[in-house]
């Protein structure tokens, strides 16, 4: 029904919710955490349940996805296989902040305190080390703007679909 990415997302959300609930934290959270770890190992996805993730996260193809626990992902983001959102140490370090409706292509790496604007597209195998403006397509190593196409053709608007059908 959901696919493997949806299965991971379910246990990710369950852990985040149960951990924050005072009563369920001790009863159901351990079971959800165990299922979340199993999904993490089976699918090759490393997104800690403490990461701030907006509604509608779409994992296009599971496998080798690594997200720092300090990263922030906005609403309706799509992550492809091989994506890394990495933390960078040091005085100018930090973790990526990804806007709403952003598509991150296969193999892309976003490293350090980088802001990716709303509706941006990060191309396959791009290495992003500087801010990306909204409605911009970036590609290359290091990533540079190559166009101003919105991400609407790439992003699965799951949170919008859920609100319409409800």
pTM, rounded to two decimals: 0.80
Structural domains counted in the chain = 2
3-state SS string over 94-109?
ECCEECCCCEECCCCE
62/87 same-domain check: yes
| Averaged pLDDT for residues 105-121 | 95
Q: 147, 122 in Cβ contact below 8 A?
A: no
34/66 same-domain check: no
Q: 96, 79 in Cβ contact below 8 A?
A: no
Residue 103 scores a pLDDT above 70: yes
20/97 same-domain check: no
97/136 same-domain check: yes
Residue range(s) defining the domain that contains residue 15: 1-43
pLDDT bin (cut points 50, 70, 90) of residue 152 is low
pLDDT tens figures, 67-78: 999 999 999 999
**pLDDT for position 164:** 37
- Provide the CATH number for the domain around residue 103: 2.160.10.10
33/108 same-domain check: no
Distance CA 14, CA 77 (A): 19
Token pair, residue 140, equals 């290359």
Q: 104, 47 in Cβ contact below 8 A?
A: no
98/38 same-domain check: no
Q: Please report, rounded to a whole number, the percentage of residues in the chain having pLDDT higher than 70.
A: 86
10/61 same-domain check: no
4/82 same-domain check: no
């Amino acid at each position: 029904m959901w696919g493997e990415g949806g299965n991971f997302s379910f246990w990710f959300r369950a852990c985040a919710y149960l951990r924050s609930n005072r009563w369920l934290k001790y009863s159901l959270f351990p079971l959800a955490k165990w299922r979340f770890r199993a999904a993490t190992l089976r699918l090759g996805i490393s997104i800690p349940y403490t990461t701030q993730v907006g509604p509608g996260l779409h994992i296009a193809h599971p496998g080798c996805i690594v997200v720092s626990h300090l990263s922030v992902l906005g609403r309706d983001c799509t992550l492809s296989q091989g994506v890394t959102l990495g933390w960078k140490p040091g005085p100018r370090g930090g973790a990526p902040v990804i806007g709403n409706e952003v598509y991150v292509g296969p193999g892309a790496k976003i490293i350090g305190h980088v802001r990716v604007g709303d509706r941006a597209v990060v191309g396959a195998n791009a290495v992003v080390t500087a801010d990306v403006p909204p409605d911009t397509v970036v590609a290359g190593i290091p990533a540079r703007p190559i166009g101003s196409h919105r991400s609407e053709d790439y992003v699965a608007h799951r949170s919008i679909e859920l609100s319409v059908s409800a």
